[in-house]
Amino acid sequence: QDGLSEGRLEVDYMSFEGPGFPKGSCDPRLLAARMVQFRVTPCIMLEPDESGAYQQVVPNDAMYKTPVIVQRSRFLPVTNTHKELMEAAGRQISATIQEGGRPPKCILNMQIEDMLRGPELASAAGRQSRLAKFVEADADKDGQLTTDELKSLLNPKLSEEEKNEIVSALDFDNKGKLPIDFLTSTSTTSLVARAFLDRFDMLQPLKFPVMLSALQSDQDLATYLARYTNQQ
């Protein structure tokens, strides 16, 4: 999207298939999160396939003329209450549908606005600049930062105690070094990616469709859903 203002281009679905992308090489869940994170789209929808693995779906196909029930949360953590609320709402809406009408689709809206990149970091130049700072701080060029090197990148206004608290939380195995890939959220092994996948793994046993979004208000979400379904 370099050179395009936000909102000029929106991609609702993306899939990588073919000889260059062997099975398992691309995680549709993480790809969906990246699309929201880098402001390619406000929402992405995923549904489990026959094997139970979640795949991206075209929202118009998934919600066309279908009543939807959406539960918004960060799901930290997922509880039985989330499932019970969806099932209860499903029963209530189903009881009001006329004969021949489509059953409601229950959707879990995982809010990931905490992952959203600022416009300056969503561009290629912004991502490269951020990575260059990590590489520059890596004195021995081994692809890892020591805790002292990492602290040098933090806000200088922070106290030494505050910096130690941040770094110790990242260096949870006390190795004294952190791979640059782990610190950059564009990597599949990064802290952000791992945290997101752990959160999604908790949702998968519920087997509900999952919509990832960074929309702040319920009204914004309702406006987005109204594009694809005329049912309440």
Q: Residues 177-198: pLDDT tens digits? A: 888 888 876 677 777 888 899 9
Contact of 69 with 107, CB cutoff 8 Å: yes
pLDDT at residue 171, rounded to an integer: 83
By DSSP bridging, strand 43-48 and strand 54-57 are: antiparallel
Asked if the bond preceding 205 is cis, omega within 30° of 0, the reply is no
Taking 50 as the pLDDT cut, the residues of the chain under it are: none
Helix (H) or strand (E) holding 43: strand 43-48
3 Rama class: left (phi>0) / alpha (psi -120 to 50) / beta: left
What local confidence, expressed as pLDDT, does residue 6 receive? 60
Nearest to 200 by CA among 187, 210, 185: 210
First to last CA, the chain: 33
Closest CA to 196 of 44, 64, 83: 44
- Of the candidates 37, 9, 12, the residue with the CA atom closest to the CA atom of residue 187: 37
pTM of the model as a whole: 0.78
- Per-residue pLDDT at 186: 64
Q: Is the dihedral of CA 26, 30, 33, 34 positive or negative?
A: negative
pLDDT of residue 213: 94
Q: Which of 163, 197, 170, 165 is nearest to 184 (CA)?
A: 170
Q: Which residues contact 64 (CB under 8 A, 6 or more apart)?
A: 228, 229
Is the C-alpha dihedral spanning 123, 124, 126, 130 positive or negative? Answer: positive
CA 90 to chain centre: 25
One-letter amino acid at 88 equals A
Measure the CA–CA gap between 40 and 6, rounded to whole angstroms.
Answer: 8
Tell me the residue type at 206.
Answer: L
